Amino acid sequence: MRHLLRPAVLLAAIGAMSAPSALATGSETLDRRAGLGIGMSPPERAGPPTVDTVFPGLTGEKLGLRKGDVILAVGERPALDRATVVAYAGTLRANDPVQLRIRRNGRELLLAGRAVGRPLETYPGGIASYGSLPFRGGLLRDILVTPATSPSAPVVFLLPGYTCNSIEPQAADHPYRRLGAELIARGIGYYRVEKPFVGDSKGPNDCNDIDFATELDAFRSAYNHVITERGISADRIFMFGHSLGGLQAPLLAVEQPPRGVAVFGTVLRNWADYHHDVDRIQAYLFAGSDPVDEAAEAEGNRDLIRAFYFERKSPAEIAATNPQAADRLRELFQWDGGTRAIGGRSYRFNQDLAHLPLIAAWRDARTNVLALYGESDIVAINDEDHRLIADIASFYRPGTGRFLEVAKTDHGMELTGTRSEVREKFMALGQAPTGPFNPAVVEALASWISDAMAQPPVATRSFSPRTRPVR
């Protein structure tokens, strides 16, 4: 698919003093994920990869890896390419035995030792508490960061985007990390939970194989956990749904209203319609592709979108009845020929997205609503859905919905320019432009939280019913 969705990313930071991270009571039952702690190049070439970066204090350095070493084997498996090494590193947990065979200056060497767990997060002025919660026979890692000077502060519960990437990025300047730092600096807490089998989380199912209901249930379990076990009452929790998380947040809010739900870069229209819009105009908006050609090709894909989403046919079933469609399935749905589709996730997960009662959820979510849209967020296409989310909230509960556009800001909350500037940069560079995080996103979020905390919870208020026209 000519689909330019990027992994979910978030926000910025300033700070004062650092506070240590601590593992929560009972979290020792969930071993820390490890890794090799190296960078390799070039990523696109087949064959044994070369180490180009060794990060201090992690497994690679402890084993004695050096820049320029060629990795020939990991464990007992030949390192056929970079992906082989990445897959091996992804299996490691703290203190697991590690064995690498390398070539250095023409000589083969065997390096062996124990894996080093990933460092824990630290936040200026905050205390990070690592814990875990049971989920369907496994455990999910959760992290609560609270301001050191205000343990009873409101808490933002992050519902991240589409991918199965960890919500605990190692880079200190990653937007998810910077979001936490900025919230803590403003006296607001920050809560996250890993998806099943991501990061430190353990089984039984890989995130890339689960359906939407399972992922939603994982967040539901975490929401209940943060209330009952972490002691954070719902009336000081603010869900922040980024991208796909903006579909999950209202569904959870219906069941147990938090103090507020904020979304950024999300969707309200049916997911199949959104997919058609991506197919129809996103390449034009982003990269200056011919809009007439794009629209014509998208019209030819309508039957595939209908069969996949509404008839719930598997890609294999569609290809079996129409062999000419196989290539289009690979392009339109990123089909791998098996059970995986867009973003490497289960095709069933993707199909589920077209059957969510989103408008009803926003109607029934008795909470404050903030719909944030970045002016140059071409992944979300345009501001229409965000304006409508805020409008629906205020239609049923006057005054509870708020829309705000953040100027020159893209889907990753980075300052990249106006929509036309983004297209011009893409056409010049051949790739989507990047930029610094825009702190205006956090400013808007924090201001809205302050306003919401100054009012009684929406769930406790009564609203006069609207008069509706007779059909």
Q: Are 314 and 347 in contact (CB under 8 A)?
A: yes
Cis peptide before 42 (omega within 30 of 0): yes
pLDDT at 324 (0 to 100): 87
Same-domain check for residues 155 and 61: no
**SS3 per-residue string spanning 238-273:** EEEEECCHHHHHHHHHHHCCCCEEEEECCCCCCHHH
Q: Is the pTM of this model over 0.95?
A: no
One domain for residues 344 and 204: yes
At how many degrees (to 10) do helices 245-255 and 212-228 cross? 60
Task: Give tens-digit pLDDT for 106-121.
Answer: 999 999 999 999 999 9
pLDDT of residue 28: 43
257 with 238: CB under 8 angstroms?
no
Domain residue limits at 132 = 1-32+120-460
Helices (H), 325-374: 326-333, 347-352, 358-364
pLDDT in single tens digits along all 471 residues of the chain = 334 433 332 222 212 223 333 344 344 478 999 989 999 986 566 789 999 999 999 999 999 999 999 999 999 899 989 989 998 998 899 999 999 999 999 999 999 999 999 999 999 999 999 999 999 999 999 999 999 999 899 999 999 999 999 999 877 778 888 899 999 999 999 999 999 999 999 988 899 999 999 999 999 999 999 999 999 999 999 999 999 999 999 999 999 999 999 999 999 999 999 999 999 999 999 999 999 999 999 999 999 999 999 999 999 999 999 888 999 999 999 999 999 999 999 999 999 999 999 999 999 999 999 999 999 999 999 999 999 999 999 999 999 999 999 999 999 999 999 999 999 999 999 888 999 889 999 999 999 999 999 999 999 999 876 655 545
Residue 436 exposure: Cα atoms within 13 Å on the Cβ side:
5
Q: Are residues 317 and 368 in the same domain?
A: yes
Give me the pLDDT at residue 386, please: 98
CB-based contact 186:446 (threshold 8 Å): yes
CATH of the domain at 351: 3.40.50.1820
Give the residue from 373, 388, 382, 412 showing the smallest Cα distance to 285.
382
* Mean pLDDT across the chain: 90
Q: What is the pLDDT of residues 176-196, one digit of tens each?
A: 888 999 999 999 999 999 999
Q: Quickly list H helices, 278-433.
A: 283-287, 291-299, 302-305, 315-321, 326-333, 347-352, 358-364, 384-396, 419-429
Residues 279 and 369 in one domain: yes
Q: What is the number of structural domains in the chain? A: 2
Same domain, 243 and 261: yes
Contact at 8 Å (CB) between 329 and 304? yes
CATH number at residue 104: 2.30.42.10
Together in a domain, 89 and 203: no
- The answer to whether residues 132 and 62 belong to one domain is no
- H helix or E strand, kind and range, residue 448: helix 440-453
Where does a domain end: 62, 93, 114? Answer: 114
Backbone angles phi, psi at 49, to 5 degrees: -80, 160
SS3 346: strand
Does residue 203 sit in the same domain as residue 70?
no
Q: Which residues contact 173 (CB under 8 A, 6 or more apart)?
A: none
Give the integer Cα–Cα distance in Å for 254 and 92: 39
**Would 468 be classed as within a structural domain?**
no
Domain-located, residue 279: yes
Residue 460: Cβ-neighbour burial (10 angstroms; 0-12, 13-18, 19+): exposed
Residue 149, in any domain of the structure: yes
Query: Residue 90's pLDDT is what?
Result: 86
- C-alpha 301: how far from its chain's center? 27
- Together in a domain, 19 and 66: no
Q: What is the pLDDT of residue 463?
A: 87
Q: Where among 88, 114, 140 does a domain terminate? A: 114
CB contact at 8 A, 169 and 149: no
pLDDT tens digit sequence for 281-314? 999 999 999 999 999 999 999 999 999 999 999 9
- Distance, in Å, from the CA atom of 94 to the CA atom of 44, rounded to the nearest integer, reads 29
Cα angle 189-196-139, degrees, rounded to a multiple of 5: 80
Would you say residue 466 lies in a domain?
A: no
Q: How far apart are CA 407 and CA 424, in angstroms?
A: 17
| Same domain, residue pair 151 and 188 | yes
Domain assignment present for residue 471? The answer is: no
Residue 470 lies in a domain: no
- Domain annotation covers residue 265: yes
In a domain, 128, yes or no: yes
Q: Give pLDDT tens digits for 203-238.
A: 888 999 999 999 999 999 999 999 999 999 999 999
d(C-alpha 183, C-alpha 13), whole Å: 8
Contact 160, 167 (CB under 8 A): yes
Clarify whether residues 312 and 432 are in a common domain.
yes
pLDDT digits (tens, 9 = 90+) for 51-80: 999 999 999 999 999 999 999 999 989 998
Whose structure tokens read 């979001």? 179
Same domain assignment for residues 158 and 278: yes
Nearest-angstrom CA–CA distance, 222 and 5:
26
* Last residue in a domain, options 114, 145, 168: 114
